[in-house]
Amino acid sequence: MADAERGYFLRTVERRGGGPQLRIRQRSAGDVGCVVWDAALVLSKYLETSSFYRDSLHVFSGKNVVELGSGTGVVGLMASALGANVIVTDLEELQDLLNINIKDNMHLVTGSIQAKVLKWGETVKDLPSEPDYILVADCIYYEQSLEPLLRTMKDLSGNKTCIILCYEERTMGNNPKIESRFFELLQTDFEIEEIPLDRQDEEYRSEDIHVLHIKRKRHH
């Protein structure tokens, strides 16, 4: 049966320097996690761009990476194609889609990748403690999730963990309030560095999509 008949549609992501594309299946019916969001593309290409340059601090080979709210898994898959050992996480209902996309892209993985259930705010089990990187794309979008998401970021991260968070600034409805509340809460425990556009992928970048490096504040 064709993909479209089974309710899937494909999103391909080009690789820098040629090479086989990532092939990400999206589901036409389902919640927000079933499609690749623009912030996920910007973050994936940022990871690829920053590891492409030799003088970059962000080389992912052999690094432990946990992604939160992975959706289709595109960001984690890109990190694993760059050599990282990745755990992509999301709610129970996204696990099938994550596993399909892992299977379809396994030939690109040079590190490792697996999917696990992780609901924000719940006790973190079976995940590497204090991973090198935590990746988060387009996860600031509803009020009730802000504190649980921050709790998970805090529970998982150590002093050396770099959280790379990418979000699309939205001006509609409640979005500005939700974003500013998130950053207000975030600043209690974390330091934030915004990555300028000229350090992002030349093509996959946008004025309204922000890439941030977030680290735990050292309390004296």
Ligand X SMILES: C[S@@+](CC[C@H](N)C(=O)[O-])C[C@H]1O[C@@H](n2cnc3c(N)ncnc32)[C@H](O)[C@@H]1O
Residue 91 or 195: the one with the smaller Cβ distance to ligand X is 91
Exposed, middle or buried, 199 (CB in 10 Å: 0-12/13-18/19+)? Answer: middle
Residue 116 C-beta: closest distance to ligand X, Å: 11
Residue 76 or 111: the one with the smaller Cβ distance to ligand X is 76
CA–CA separation, 199 vs 201, rounded Å? 7
* Binding stretches for ligand X (CB under 6 A): 31-33, 36-37, 39-40, 69-72, 90-91, 94, 119-120, 137-139, 141, 145, 148
Please report, for residues 35, 58, 90, 156, 216, the alpha-carbon distance to residue 32 in angstroms, rounded to integers and kept in the order given. Answer: 7, 29, 12, 24, 29
Beta bridge partners of 165: 136, 212
Residue 94 C-beta: closest distance to ligand X, Å: 5
Residue 101 C-beta: closest distance to ligand X, Å: 11
What's the residue count for the chain? 220
Residue 135 C-beta: closest distance to ligand X, Å: 9
Residue 72 or 101: the one with the smaller Cβ distance to ligand X is 72
By Cβ distance, which residue is nearest to ligand X? 33
Residue 18 or 32: the one with the smaller Cβ distance to ligand X is 32
Amino acid at 146: L
Angle between helices 74-81 and 38-52 in degrees, nearest 10: 10
